[in-house]
Amino acid sequence: MNLLPENTDTVLSKLETLILVPALNISTFMNYCTIESLSSYHSFFIVSSVLIAAAIGISYPLSRVFSKERYQRNIYKYALTFGNFGFLGNAIVPIILGEEFLYTYMLFCLPINVMCYTWGIGGLIPKDNNKNPLLNLINPTVIAIVIGAILGLTGIKSVVPPFIKLSLSNLAACMGPIAMILTGFVVAKYSIIKLLKKPLVYLATLLRLIILPIIFVAVLLLIKIDSEIIKMCIFAFATPLGLNTVVYPSAYGEDASTGASMALISHTLCVVTIPILYTVVTTFLPN
């Protein structure tokens, strides 16, 4: 209806990445990151690292099925490796499991974040523009995690003024709703009919939302991994295809329609797949 300017998605994206997500990270790590919790959750790092390494390994042969063109293949490679574990995962974990589990989830996602901002983003930047991928780690999301961890581990959080803590908490609460509005604006720039007429995107969505997470969860169940880790795995790997496959191709003048189609189809279907998958998996977990 053109009620808001065309660049609204750009504004919301900056609001998310520069303010809301960093506020969420600082608040969560400041409150829950302690020496005791780190020593208790070392297994989360190990399992997450193994899973993301497996996801990357699987994405190489699978991406060749989707495209012969190098850059499009990189888009599918990224999509098959990383779900929307950040914006969407951070929004639904507190609702389903409780706010105290958000820190646990963020710890679980740290290795995924590292690979996303290095190997993942590096593949979405055209070869001529791709610099040292390690520099991608110097971003507001990671910096906020470091600040929050320092405040939590050193105990400095006790001297942080209450109004700052409240401001961070309130900003963090805006992250989920704004992320969903942002998704709508990104998708709305394209023809819905054309976005729905991409058969390969449906296959990628099936792999992202159902097949790959089921494989990972089944393996974890077989080796009797802690049930809390299995729940974290669902939210990290069964989330829909992320928006970076739209943002980065657009920024460098590449075709972003594949990423927009992924966002539209996978975010719509995940409303059904995530609750079903979570319900089915939790029935196999010990009480």
pLDDT tens-place string over residues 224-271: 899 999 999 999 999 998 778 887 787 677 777 888 899 889 989 999
Structural domain including 216 reads 8-283
Residue 170 lies in a domain: yes
Give the per-residue pLDDT at 78.
94
Q: Which residues contact 198 (CB under 8 A, 6 or more apart)?
A: 257, 258, 261, 265
Count the Cβ atoms, other than its own, within 10 Å of residue 33. 21
**CATH code at position 15:** 1.20.1530.20
In a domain, residue 255? The reply is yes
CB 32 within 8 A of CB 100: yes
* Best mean pLDDT range from 2-16, 128-142, 204-218: 204-218
- Decide if 3 is inside a domain: no
Predicted confidence at residue 247, as pLDDT, reads 74
Tell whether 145 is covered by a domain.
yes
Is the pTM of the predicted complex or chain greater than 0.75? yes
How would residue 211 be classed by pLDDT, with cut points 50, 70 and 90? very high
Q: Residue 276's pLDDT band (boundaries 50, 70, 90)? A: very high
pLDDT at 79 exceeding the cut of 80? yes
Angle (CA) 136-141-142 rounded to 5° is: 65
Residue 257's pLDDT is: 85
Work out the pLDDT band at 287, boundaries 50, 70, 90: low
Domain membership of residue 26 (yes or no) is yes
The answer to whether position 2 is within a domain reads no
Q: How many domains does the chain have?
A: 1
**pLDDT single digits (tens) 31-70:** 877 777 777 778 888 999 999 999 999 999 999 999 888 8
Q: What is the DSSP letter of 135?
A: G
Tell me the three state secondary structure of residue 132.
coil
Tell me the DSSP string of 36-61: HHHHHTHHHHHHHHHHHHHHHHHHHH
For residue 73, tell me if it sits in a domain: yes
- Tell me the C-alpha distance between 214 and 280, whole Å: 10
Q: Rounded to whole angstroms, what are the CA distances from 175 to 25, 150, 170, 198, 264?
A: 11, 22, 9, 30, 19
pLDDT at 260: 87
Residue 91, φ and ψ in degrees, nearest 5: -80, -40
pLDDT higher at 20 or 216: 216
Tens of pLDDT, residues 95-151: 888 888 888 898 898 888 888 877 888 888 777 655 666 666 677 878 888 898 899
